[in-house]
Amino acid sequence: MQKKSDFIFKYPPNLQELDLATWSDECKRQHIFLSQFVRRVLQSLQISRELFFFTQIPEFFCIYRSKSCNDIMQKKSDFIFKYPPNLQELDLATMVSMYRDRGEPRRAKPGEYLGCTASHKLLKHAKWWFGLYYSQAAWDSLLTKSSEGYPLTEVELNLLGLVHALDEEPPHREFVEQNIGTLPKLAYLIVNDIRQFGFISEEEQGHLTITPAGEKALQGICRRVYGKRFSPEMLELYDQDPSHFVGKTPSPSDQASLF
């Protein structure tokens, strides 16, 4: 009975660490009725009948995904760092400050707690990521293989993947900054950081190439997200203009091994 989604409200798993007065009043206000929840889920599923069909059984219901769904490049995991989707609402100074502060340790105020975004545990100390908080264990679990501690997102996947896919004619950094799925101003900061971290190198003319460490980091996040080695089909630019990658898509035999 594998879960298909974990996107629901959750009580912190370490409530036993709190005194009764801290949480009893809040619990009284959080009455959730299972029948209403099930009804709302079924109603939402009926919107996409071509993708889902379901059977209601006493005490539980099962959801089966249609085999007609395209899973050629389907994500296997979404458990990675993510940049907020509305960064364009920030002024440049605020965005730069928030970007520079990612990963910084934060301490809760006296009498208050911070909530871990991943585990939902209440914390006195946490690591900060664009307004979200993570325990050290949760932070470490979000780091991908061979990232050497760098918090990679799909933006960095697009950056490293684009440079790797176009290695025969190294792309200029301006082209890369405009095609990795984020604001150009943030992309400029990311390219600088990835270069300083040793994942890419930049020539005097501004052309970028991937380093061995960068290729390992790329494969690590690709295996986390897609369960396979890098392919140009994973890139946002591939969806917009696949002509950039003609002859660069690996054959199925190249994707057979995950390790």
Quick one: pLDDT at residue 48? Answer: 43
Residue 71 reports pLDDT greater than 50: no
Global confidence as pTM? 0.75
Bridging pattern class, strands 122-123 and 114-115? antiparallel
Confidence band for 185, pLDDT divided at 50, 70 and 90 = very high
3-state class (DSSP) for residue 66: coil
DSSP 3-state helix, strand, coil percentages of the chain (rounded to 5)? 40, 15, 45
Does residue 20 carry a pLDDT above 80?
no
Closest C-alpha among 157, 163, 162 to residue 77: 157
pLDDT for 31 equals 43
- Residue environment code for 83-120, b if the CB has 16+ CB neighbours within 10 A, otherwise e: beeebeebeeeebeebbeeeeeeeeeeeeebbbbeebe
Residue 150: is its pLDDT beyond 50? yes
How high is the pLDDT of residue 24?
59
Looking at residue 19, its pLDDT comes to: 75
pLDDT at 188 over 90: yes
Q: Is a pLDDT exceeding 60 seen at residue 241?
A: yes
What is the model's pLDDT at position 70?
A: 40
Least confident of 52-61, 121-130, 217-226: 52-61
Cα 196 to Cα 184: distance, rounded to the nearest angstrom? 18
The amino acid occupying position 144 is T
| Residue range 39-61, pLDDT digits in tens | 555 555 554 433 444 444 343 33
Both structure tokens of 75: 């994500």
Nearest Cα to 56, choosing from 70, 47, 45?
45
Q: With contact defined as beta carbons under 8 Å apart, do 112 and 96 qualify?
A: no
As a whole number, mean pLDDT of residues 156-184 equals 97
Whole-number average pLDDT of the chain: 83
